[in-house]
Structure 1
């Protein structure tokens, strides 16, 4: 793992731990409050049951005492039901007033109520807490059932809502700051690329002039060495042109993919080991919208990586095909090199990733970006250690291409 990835992973891990600590602290403190509030509500329910029992069992208490007991009981707001041993409802409080008018103020029964609602509430209360028993002087028993108040239920779910909102906010903030960081990185890349193109311009022009002087002085117009030197100098011009166009919208034209690939392979294979065999096959007439200098750069990066992965002799195959609907063109570049572990299929396209001791690890990152300029995709199709790797490029065909908004 390169230092950039290591630092990135370390910071992500640290932030994850910090977020987990905040979440755990919030949940623990909320649970502490919920437990205390639940105990308080249990006490309220017990006081309400005792006050109800006092009203029933002490008819001779003076009016002032009765008024006090009623005041205490009515101040304890809590959804509760009093039922007998057969679950017949005797009294209730703090339930839905539109469905619970069992008793009028004078104690006469009001038959306009929803019994199904009462049964549901009683079942909920039975599951929520154990009942409080009231012993009546005539030998019967009443049972006080209650459920948690709305405040307690809201408090239970509050930390989850809070953490969800914080997570959404952090996600949006991370996306915005990441976008800003990438934008700044892009500006640095564009500036460095254009400066490199500018610096290369003068020596390339001088080399072209020196080549012409050598030809004229030694009458070597068709000398093969000078022809190859000129080819390399022109290649440098293409490279400089690539760098000068980074950050600009590429100009794409319909091109025969097979011809573009073959032309570059013919240039590249004479500049690599004779022990590596190149083979291009597949559809010869498919057309794609390409910027040839940029696409040559893509091929150069992939073929260089493939050649470096082959330690001695080997083979590089390039197969061009299209899907049944003729909407997409597939370019599979396979080598017989050392392969890539499956866990690193995505990582190879990250800036700074490299398995070589020397190198910046930017080739595949740039390759992916240039393929995206062409509204295409690139990924590791398959790889096996010590057997080889296949990269797949997917491009839209010329007939289905829509200009990219860059």
Structure 2
């Protein structure tokens, strides 16, 4: 496995640079928002001054026209003008809403929270109070930092999942490499064992002994074949799911303790399914062995096959101590195990074989102190 520290460092630098750029954009937007708000405040103060000039110069036509021109330039900022008697005038608010006193009172409170009111004073006497809200442009700009923060969050989430997926991919390559190397290492002594067994047969040794050795050699060949398939897409062919499951069942039954009671049931005689038999049998064996470990070598193991619609379900049950519901998904992750000396690879391999290679599903159907039922679901080839 080739781990590239330079590539990892460049990814970190790229991530930091991206966050710095986005942070600068956020800071710049916030500064722009404040400056724009100050600009609007200045315009409102000019408008208030024009309003005062209008009151003072009602006889001066020229000054009145200039004042009206200044006041008429504001067509975007909503305003409510309240005089000392409580009379209300509105600007840039629709006539229908301006006629609703409750709406205007609510707007006054809103404008007061957004911007400090401007008092129009003449010779120490309060004539009018100007309440104004944010313009439409400012309102849109106000939510821009929130949108940018959301973008930062989504960007961070994408980067996080990218690194997580990349790490998982590297781990998968590592395990696949180890599996293939194991298969390669087993191959050499296995060839030697085949030769020695043939030699023993020629020496007229008890045939039962050589037959059992041949069975174990065949078993080692199967294991080698399984490990060699990890990390590559295996070939799937049509096989009878019932007979293939029963083969795995019989093998385990013969080689397990007499304290384990095995049972096998099926509601169908045969059913064609696209399978890779060595890998499928490996999945069944892993589930059964996990069940035996959960029962501490004493209890009942049941394998059931049932067809429901287009799918066939293989149920592997044990009478072990059960799995907490919170761990129903976690147990399929690499490294998760309840065994003191376990590697936590068995169920993760089963999940990969079932879901990635056979396009099926595996899950904990149920679990309690009385036992656990694991379910493999595959699509029937009919």
- Normalising to structure 1: TM-score of the pair? 0.73
What do residues 360-389 of structure 1 show as CA deviations (whole Å, max 9, x unaligned)? 11111111000021110101111113x211
Match of 1:282 among 266, 276, 283: 266
* Structure 1 runs, 4 residues or longer, greater than 6 Å off: 32-40, 60-64, 66-77, 83-88
Specify the alignment match of 1:340 in structure 2: 323
Distance 2:97 2:238 in 1: 72
Mapping of residues 6-405 of structure 1, within 5 Å: 45=44, 48-59=47-58, 78-82=77-81, 89=89, 92=91, 95=92, 115-116=95-96, 125-130=107-112, 144-221=130-207, 223=208, 225-283=209-267, 284-323=269-308, 325=309, 327-372=310-355, 373-385=357-369, 387-399=370-382
What do residues 55-106 of structure 1 show as CA deviations (whole Å, max 9, x unaligned)? 2134467978x799779868988432446778764x63xx4xxxx8xxxxxx
Gaps of 5+ in 1: 1-14, 101-113, 400-406
Distance 1:321 1:133 in 2: 82
What do residues 187-207 of structure 1 show as CA deviations (whole Å, max 9, x unaligned)? 333322222111111111211
CA apart distance, 1:318: 0.9
Distance 1:214 1:169, change over 3 A: same
Specify the alignment match of 1:5 in structure 2: none
CA apart distance, 1:233: 1.4
Distance 1:44 1:115, change over 3 A: same
What do residues 309-351 of structure 1 show as CA deviations (whole Å, max 9, x unaligned)? 112420011111111x2x0011111100111111111111111
RMSD: 3.8
What do residues 192-246 of structure 1 show as CA deviations (whole Å, max 9, x unaligned)? 222211111111121122222223213422x1x4323321211110110112222
Distance 1:215 1:161 in 2: 79
Specify the alignment match of 2:10 in structure 1: none
Gaps of 5+ in 2: 1-14
Conserved 8 A contact 1:330-1:393:
yes
What do residues 148-172 of structure 1 show as CA deviations (whole Å, max 9, x unaligned)? 1345423431221111111222233
